[in-house]
Each structure stands twice: as structure tokens, then as C-alpha cells.
């Protein structure tokens, strides 16, 4: 575990300008803003991961929201998806509070780090395959720094699942062939030739489309988080009494 290394990585991510379309979009959104956030100074840069450097559980999303993480500078902070995710983390004892509204609101995660395979807000929430691949080295470096402690990962949605598997392989875990398919509740163990393995868990993304329609309910999300936390060796209210 290298806390300073992860901090330096986060700073480097925040300064990345590798994808012209994403740079233009995130900065345009930061200039024009949404009326409800007219008094905000938007972050308008790539959003690094959030959580302790010795995390045992990793949550992998898709990309920051234009008026969420791109505004606040913190993953899943200030948008409806984050409202659902952090409430569930709080419910199972992995977060200090149920809300995540701005980067200085005091939220702490317990043994959990949240990241994404794409660190810039993309137009229509859809990064291109090239943008996904260009951003992958950041995730690979983050995974390598987390390898001493991370034991489980929750991958949100098919995009997060498909984007993260090559990164796990590059970071030193063995991904089965053929690659396992995404499904809500899927569980796959990745072995590592030089260290502990990693348990991957599939979960529908906490998007408004999924949560508003009931495709993903709060209880479904809590169940995945509880199971993943136990696999990671984290204590939760259910396991600690």
C-alpha cells in the first residue's frame, strides 16, 4: 500500500487532457452550467477515485456525470446515481453518512474506494471505445497501487464490467477465457500468480433509468454490497452484530 503514490496518481489524473472531445465537453459544461447550479464553480476536469488508499473493496462505475462529479470533483457526488449508491453504502455500514453533495461535506468511506474506467464526463454519458481505451492506463495504475489490500470489486453495469476486465488483467490478475459475461449478481474470482485473488461482483448500474424503473432496487444494491464486503473481509452491521 502506497498512500503517497495513490495521491500523486489522483493529481496526475486531474490534469489529463488526452481526449479532445471529452476535454471540450467537460469544460463547456463547466462554463455554461445548469441553472440550478449557477452559483457553483464547476470542477470541469477529470475526476479521480475517492476512498482510502488501503481499500479492500473497489466500486467501479462508468464515468462522472456532467453536473455531478464534473461539478463537484468527486466520484458519484452531487447526482441522483450517487444519492442511491452512497445511501446504500451507509445502510450497510461502509460510509459515514448517507449523502454525498460536495467534496468538503465530510463523507468518509470505510475500506471502500470508488473509481471509474473513464474519468471525464462524456456527452450523453457515452464515452467512445477509443476514449475508454485511452483512459484505461489510469485504472491499471490505480489497481496496481491497490493490489496489496483490495480483495473484491463491484462493477456497475455492463460498460464498467467490460471496461474493467482488461485493466484487471494488465494489473496482474488472471481473467478467465472466454471473458465472463456481465449479469446482475454475477461473481467471478480472478486468480493472481503472485498474490491474493480478487472476487468480482456484477451489479446493475445505479443510473436513474435503472433505479426509477425498479430494475435495480435499494435492497438489490445492498445485497450485492453486503456480499462483496464480506468477500473483501470488511465488517458490516450484519457481520459484526
What's the pLDDT score for residue 224? 98
The CA–CA distances, whole Å, from 85 to 34, 51, 118, 137, 198 equal 23, 14, 18, 25, 22
State yes or no: pLDDT of 3 exceeds 80: no
What's the pLDDT score for residue 117? 97
Under DSSP, the state recorded for 179 is P
Beta bridge partners of 153: 58, 200
β-strands 152-156, 57-60 pairing: parallel
Helices (H), the chain: 3-14, 20-32, 69-72, 80-91, 129-146, 157-170, 208-213, 218-232, 237-240
State yes or no: pLDDT of 87 exceeds 70: yes
What's the whole-number average pLDDT of the chain?
95
Residue with cell 485493466: 167
Confidence of residue 236 (pLDDT cuts 50, 70, 90): low
Amino acid at each position: 500500500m502506497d498512500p503517497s503514490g495513490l495521491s500523486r496518481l489522483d493529481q496526475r489524473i486531474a490534469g489529463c487532457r488526452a481526449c479532445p472531445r471529452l476535454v471540450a465537453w467537460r469544460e463547456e459544461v463547466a462554463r455554461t452550467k445548469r441553472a440550478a447550479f449557477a452559483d457553483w464553480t464547476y470542477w470541469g476536469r477529470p475526476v479521480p477515485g475517492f476512498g482510502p488508499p488501503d481499500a479492500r473493496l473497489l466500486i467501479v462505475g462508468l464515468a462522472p456525470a456532467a453536473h455531478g462529479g464534473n461539478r463537484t470533483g468527486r466520484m458519484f457526488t452531487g447526482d441522483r446515481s450517487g444519492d442511491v449508491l452512497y445511501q446504500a453504502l451507509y445502510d450497510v455500514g461502509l460510509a459515514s453518512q448517507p449523502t454525498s453533495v460536495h467534496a468538503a461535506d465530510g463523507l468518509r468511506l470505510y475500506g471502500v474506494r470508488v473509481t471509474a474506467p473513464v474519468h471525464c464526463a462524456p456527452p450523453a454519458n457515452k464515452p467512445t471505445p477509443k476514449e475508454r481505451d485511452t483512459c484505461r492506463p489510469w485504472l491499471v495504475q490505480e489497481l496496481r497501487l491497490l493490489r496489496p489490500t483490495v480483495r473484491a470489486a463491484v462493477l456497475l453495469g455492463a460498460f464498467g464490467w467490460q471496461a474493467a476486465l482488461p485493466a484487471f488483467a494488465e494489473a496482474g490478475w488472471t481473467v478467465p477465457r472466454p471473458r465472463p459475461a456481465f449479469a446482475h449478481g454475477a461473481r467471478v474470482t480472478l486468480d493472481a500468480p503472485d498474490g491474493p485473488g480478487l472476487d468480482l461482483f456484477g451489479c446493475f448500474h445505479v443510473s436513474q433509468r435503472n433505479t426509477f424503473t425498479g430494475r435495480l432496487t435499494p435492497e438489490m444494491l445492498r445485497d450485492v454490497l453486503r456480499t462483496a464486503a464480506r468477500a473483501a473481509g470488511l465488517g458490516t452491521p450484519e457481520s459484526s452484530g
